A and B are shown apart, each in its own frame.
Chain A
Amino acid sequence: MSTVTPFPADVRPLLEVRQLSQVYNLRRQKLLGPRPTLKVLDSIDFSVRPGEAVGLVGESGSGKTTLTRMLTGVERPGQGQVLYDGVDVWTGGEAHKKLFRRSVQVVLQNPRSSLDPRMRVGTSLLEPLRSLRIEGDHAARVLEVLDQVGLDKNALERFPHEFSGGQLQRIAIARALMPGPKVLIADEPVSALDVSIQAQVLNLLKDLVRDLGLGLVFIAHDLSVVAYTTSKVYVMSSGKIVEVGKPLDLFRNPQAEATQALVGAVLSVEAGLAGNALA
């Protein structure tokens, strides 16, 4: 397995997992029988550096979501380490855990369900500052973040139902940016959006990585969307990372079976017009 290093080796990964494994115990099949186990993650090594966008692809059931839960500290790994800024998140002490929690933020797939419908957008944006007990000029921060995601300040007084899907996803991204994170984890951030809006959100994420020097973990099932957004892609299958590489290399010369399946599944307008899309 080759590793891609688009950055100088001395740039330390911001968020990293080392030899991460997780086993779930399933229900007993017999009354006194043993509980069967399911290895959902198997010796995962994964890292993201500042200003770097990495992709995570795989079919459903490959372990993407479980890995995301580990990266965000929602779930404690059975084996292995989750490191933020070089320090273990689970054994590094309360102060470090607090730093980790404000530095790693998530954008979910469907903004209609991830924003509280009864909360004004302005209140939703302030939530992370309040729950993470971050001091400072909150009003100024809100305006700064709105500007970063390209929204107008009159959005603050409105409710989520007044916005279109693309605008809501901008609001969800704004909320994730509020605590000033160093890493943004985006789980299928455009798959619930319309085609003409997807491009806007993808461009926005790319701009944020470039302008704010964020690390971005982009999780998706569509390889062409990931290839457009990221510079390094991890391919997952059955709980393992089966291939890592630059997106175009994976496209042109997929090695692992899972990568080949994903590349083969990409439909394009060109192939359709040439009449060989379903060949």
Chain B
Amino acid sequence: MTSAKPHAIEVKDLVVSNGDVTAVRGVSFTIPQGGRMGLVGESGSGKSMTALALMGLLPMGWNTHGNILHDGVDLVTQSDKALSSRRGRTLSMVFQDPLSSLNPVRRVGDQISSVIRRHTGADKRVAEAQTIELIKQMNLPRPEQLVRAYPHEISGGQRQRIMIAMALACYPQLIIADEPTTALDVTVQKQVLRLLNGAVRDRGSALLMITHDLPIIAAMCDTVAVMYAGRIVEIGPVQEVFRNPRHHYTRGLLDSQPTMDNIALDGSSRLVSIPGMVPPLHSLPTGCAFNPRCPAASDKCRETMPELGTDGINAACWHPIQPAGEVAAQ
């Protein structure tokens, strides 16, 4: 189908560290053209550092090892200048908080059209016309007036739509969205997700959705990678991973979601919670990083780190959960 085309991004053994601590410890994944992958994890899991490494936007002192293949080049070896000319053109990012990622003293229309002018060389008038067209596509009211507004004059949902418009302006091959709706009001969240969903699909871009929110992944993505303590512990199609998780951490995350099904009528329901806490990066346990919190941990888990893909199972676990179907078949 798309085998002849290169992938939107191919990440191999990505390691991100600052000398003292390693935030990302050997992460590999591939997103095909137009594919959608979700990256789930808690704070400190390394999911945002992975995104920043892909964008070449790591904080001072952090460096990247491994390969990030995108658009025929390895982003790890690219110069800052080369990366800068790619951001917004072949890959772009939507951040969590639009108020701190938009320039407060420039009109939002100028911020979008300068992206277009920089990457396409379009003249001012063409870029402005395209900006208005983009804003229309974002279902924003009165585009002609909105382009003249400053970020503080519009609502949070509108700001995030402006951010999405900016990210999509040059039809990038890959869009990275890092918690794009966490800062928004709940009722606006769904509208913005719906918009992002449609806009990404219309452009044929690939999407990397980073979030701690499993329902968002289920709604937006076709594959999912679950990160824990800097590693991917389970990866696969969303339908498989969420219906039949093989890693105990994935199972725990799914069980700790309050849903209509686990709320008892008499109020006596209790959520299944994962005991303990996420280990700090500077003192990870030996073996599997999840072992102190895992119900199935054995001596082997405390000694040796499991790898993804052993026995054809895409979960880094010595004692993967048996899917219900297979147990019945045996």
- A interface residue numbers (CB < 8 A to B): 53, 59-60, 164-167, 194-200, 202-203, 206, 221-225, 227-228, 230-231, 247-248, 251, 261-262, 264-273, 277-278
Contacts and interface: CB of A to CB of B under 8 A. Distances in A.
A198 B277 CA distance: 11
Contacts of B283: none
Contact of B263 (A166, A221, A248, A272): A248
A265 B212 contact: no
Contact of B277 (A60, A167, A224, A228): A167
A278 B193 contact: yes
A167 B277 CA distance: 9
B253 A278 contact: no
29 contacts: A59-B185, A59-B186, A59-B187, A164-B277, A165-B43, A195-B253, A195-B256, A199-B272, A202-B271, A203-B270, A203-B273, A206-B270, A221-B185, A222-B186, A227-B258, A248-B265, A265-B189, A267-B189, A267-B213, A268-B218, A268-B257, A268-B260, A269-B214, A269-B257, A269-B259, A271-B215, A272-B238, A273-B239, A278-B197
B62 interface: no
Given A167-B277, A273-B243, A278-B193, A196 B218 contact: no
B42 interface: yes
Residue of A200, A221, A228 with most partner-chain B CB within 10 A? A228
Contacts of A166: 277
Interface in B191-214: 193-194, 197, 212-214
Interface residues of B, number: 46
Contacts, number: 129
A196 B213 CA distance: 11
Contacts of A261: 187
Interface of B: 42-43, 185-187, 189-190, 193-194, 197, 212-220, 238-239, 242-243, 252-263, 265, 267, 269-275, 277-278
| A194, A247, A262, A273 pick with most chain B CB within 10 angstroms | A194
A166 B271 CA distance: 15
Contacts of B265: 248
Given A248-B265, A273-B242, A277-B219, A199 B271 contact: yes
A197 B259 contact: no
